[in-house]
């Protein structure tokens, strides 16, 4: 294993009825709170009223920014940063899924600088050294934004969707109450599961070093998602299923499984180009891409990793020839994503053609090479997109 620093300073309140701690946690940072949320699901599930009651009884002054979009836009971030400055906000409270939490992270950073928050993400790559404190209440298990230092923002004018990591963006406190995800639709539950699986596979498929201990952990996380996502879809109010998925979403991306791995991710940059142009759900894009990316990267050098995956995660017959085991692992993953979870299996089904593939592939590899599990150049990425048609 390579050397690494493990530092995840996010305080997590996990489980039901933990929101009673919300006021006391927010008050540690001040009294003026910017509450951020999306298109209204938090009102439909009664969470908005619960949060407001907690904030009022703690004597906090609340300002609100709603309407944060799935694939959150830079315009929402700009507005949030502006409000933080105007109202001298002390702490931001993000209530929602990854989109709300991601946008809130960049609002918190934007509040501390004079320049446009897009400069954090554009080619200017302005440093993110400071952000106002962020507290999150998670309502959808998927991205892990509740426990990681990253966020992804879209700019629809330039058709860009760009991610950025910075320790300052880590939430200080996150509330993970599985019952808040009971109302998540079967489709979003499936997309969330696909996203988590991808976060793990981006790390797991790695030929560089022996990560046995972490591989076992990752296989456990994958089996957890494979076991519980179908249960959550059939029985939305199954607490154990929602709880296992929620905790798996955080651990899939909070840095623990990396263990010094330096390899870059592959499917995510390729997917972000799909979301940037077609505004498709991130998890759906990943579900369509991942088995095709695996197929494309399978060869004599990489086959051993696929064999490990197929046997340990899906229990594939280990007596078959390695290439057959590897292919069966990919088939089982496809079967899970498209048949068990019911996600659409091709880009064609979601109305995407090859029109922008060359442009998207060039952007995904930043005009040179995507240094992931296998090094991919523009032509490779275009070929992967084509396998998805
Ligand atoms: O907007 P509202 O009304 O809240 O509805 C949302 C939205 O329509 C709804 N929803 C959320 N919680 C719900 C609910 N509906 C019913 N009941 C609930 N309890 O679900 C829809 C999708 O929400 P969204 O926040 O967009 O989903 P997700 O959590 O999957 O976030 C996706 C975004 O996160 C980025 C993605 O690229 C995408 O922009 N990612 C962030 C990452 C990170 N921070 O590290 C990593 C990921 O790889 C990913 O890129
Ligand atoms: Zn993701």
pLDDT by residue (tens digit) across 343-357? 999 999 999 999 999
Q: Band the pLDDT of 210: cuts 50, 70, 90.
A: confident
Residue 233 beta carbon below 6 angstroms from any ligand 1 atom? no
Work out the widest C-alpha separation in the chain, in whole angstroms.
Answer: 66
171 and 95 in contact (C-beta within 8 Å)?
no
Q: Band the pLDDT of 319: cuts 50, 70, 90.
A: very high
Is 90 exceeded by the pLDDT of residue 12?
Answer: yes
Task: Give which of 243, 195, 200, 246 is closest to 221, Cα–Cα.
Answer: 200
Helix, strand or coil, per DSSP, at residue 65: strand
Mean pLDDT of 315-327: 98
Helix, strand or coil, per DSSP, at residue 116: coil
Q: Band the pLDDT of 377: cuts 50, 70, 90.
A: very high
Q: Per residue in 276-299, is it b (16+ CB within 10 Å) or e — as a string?
A: bbbebbbbbbbbbbbbbbbbbbbe
- pLDDT of 260 reads 80
Is 90 exceeded by the pLDDT of residue 375?
Answer: yes
Mean pLDDT of 81-99: 98
Q: What distances in angstroms separate CA 77 from CA 4, 110, 114, 172, 360, one per listed residue?
A: 32, 8, 14, 19, 24
- pLDDT of 44 reads 97
Task: Give which of 286, 373, 384 is closest to 338, Cα–Cα.
Answer: 286
- pLDDT of 239 reads 98
Q: Band the pLDDT of 114: cuts 50, 70, 90.
A: very high
Beta strands 369-371 and 375-377, pairing class? antiparallel
Q: What distances in angstroms separate CA 65 from CA 82, 137, 192, 314, 389, one per listed residue?
A: 11, 15, 24, 44, 39
User: For a substitution probing ligand 1, which of 149, 187, 188 has the most ligand atoms within 8 Å of its CB?
Assistant: 188
In this predicted model, which residue has the larger pLDDT, 333 or 6? 333
Please report, rounded to a whole number, the percentage of residues in the chain having pLDDT higher than 70: 100
Residue 146 beta carbon below 6 angstroms from any ligand 1 atom? no
Please report, rounded to a whole number, the percentage of residues in the chain having pLDDT higher than 90: 93
**How far away, in angstroms, is 282 Cα from ligand 2 center?**
7
- pLDDT of 203 reads 95
Q: Band the pLDDT of 90: cuts 50, 70, 90.
A: very high
Q: Band the pLDDT of 367: cuts 50, 70, 90.
A: confident
**How far away, in angstroms, is 379 Cα from ligand 2 center?**
23
- pLDDT of 1 reads 80
User: What is the position in ligand 1's atom list of the atom closest to the CA of 102?
Assistant: 44
**How far away, in angstroms, is 99 Cα from ligand 1 center?**
5
DSSP tag of 281:
-
Residue 133 beta carbon below 6 angstroms from any ligand 1 atom? no
Task: Give which of 103, 155, 146 is closest to 124, Cα–Cα.
Answer: 155
- pLDDT of 115 reads 98
**How far away, in angstroms, is 98 Cα from ligand 1 center?**
4
**How far away, in angstroms, is 269 Cα from ligand 2 center?**
10
Q: What distances in angstroms separate CA 252 from CA 6, 64, 219, 247, 316, one per listed residue?
A: 14, 31, 11, 9, 23
92 and 34 in contact (C-beta within 8 Å)?
yes
98 and 196 in contact (C-beta within 8 Å)?
no
Please give the Cα distance from 132 to 127 (Å, whole number).
Answer: 15
Q: What is the CA radius of gyration of the chain?
A: 20
Task: Give which of 314, 336, 338, 340 is closest to 326, Cα–Cα.
Answer: 314
- pLDDT of 263 reads 81
Q: Band the pLDDT of 259: cuts 50, 70, 90.
A: confident
- Residue nearest to ligand 1 atom 3, measured at CA: 39
Is 80 exceeded by the pLDDT of residue 280?
Answer: yes
Mean pLDDT of 324-344: 98
pTM attached to this predicted model: 0.97
- pLDDT of 180 reads 98
Task: Write out the H or E segment, with its range, that includes residue 379.
Answer: helix 378-387
């Amino acid at each position: 294993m390579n050397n690494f620093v493990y530092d995840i300073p996010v305080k997590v309140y996990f489980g039901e009825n933990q929101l009673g701690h919300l006021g006391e946690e927010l008050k540690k940072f001040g009294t003026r709170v910017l509450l951020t949320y999306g298109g209204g699901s938090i009102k439909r599930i009664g969470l908005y009223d619960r949060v407001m009651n907690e904030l009022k009884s703690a004597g906090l002054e609340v300002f609100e920014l709603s309407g944060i979009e799935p694939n959150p836009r830079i315009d929402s971030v700009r507005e949030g940063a502006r409000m933080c400055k105007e109202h001298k906000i002390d702490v931001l409270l993000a209530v929602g899924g990854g989109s709300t939490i991601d946008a809130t992270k960049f609002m918190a950073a934007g509040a501390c600088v004079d320049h446009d928050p897009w400069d954090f993400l554009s080619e200017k790559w302005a440093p993110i050294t400071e952000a106002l404190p962020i507290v999150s209440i998670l309502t959808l298990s998927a991205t892990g934004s509740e426990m990681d230092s990253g966020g992804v923002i879209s700019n629809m004018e330039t058709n860009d969707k760009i991610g950025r990591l910075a320790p300052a963006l880590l939430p200080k406190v996150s509330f993970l109450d599985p019952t808040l995800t009971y109302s998540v639709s079967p489709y979003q539950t499936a997309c969330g599961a696909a996203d988590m699986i991808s976060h793990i596979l981006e790390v797991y498929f790695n030929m560089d070093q022996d990560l046995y201990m972490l591989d076992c952990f990752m296989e456990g996380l994958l089996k957890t998602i494979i076991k519980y996502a179908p249960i959550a879809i059939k029985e939305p109010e199954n607490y154990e299923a929602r709880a296992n998925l929620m905790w798996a979403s955080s651990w899939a991306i909070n840095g623990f499984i990396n263990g010094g791995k330096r390899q870059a991710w592959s499917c995510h940059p390729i997917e972000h180009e799909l979301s940037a142009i077609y505004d498709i759900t991130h998890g759906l894009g990943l579900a369509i891409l991942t088995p095709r990316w695996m197929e494309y990267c399978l060869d004599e050098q990489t086959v051993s990793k696929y064999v490990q995956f197929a046997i340990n995660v899906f229990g594939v017959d280990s007596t078959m020839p390695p290439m057959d085991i590897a292919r069966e692992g990919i088939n089982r993953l496809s079967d899970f994503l498209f048949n068990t979870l019911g996600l659409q299996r091709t880009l064609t089904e979601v109305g995407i053609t090859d029109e922008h593939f060359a442009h998207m592939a060039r952007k995904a590899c930043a005009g040179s090479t995507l240094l992931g599990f296998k090094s991919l150049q523009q032509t490779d990425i275009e070929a992967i997109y084509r396998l998805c048609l």
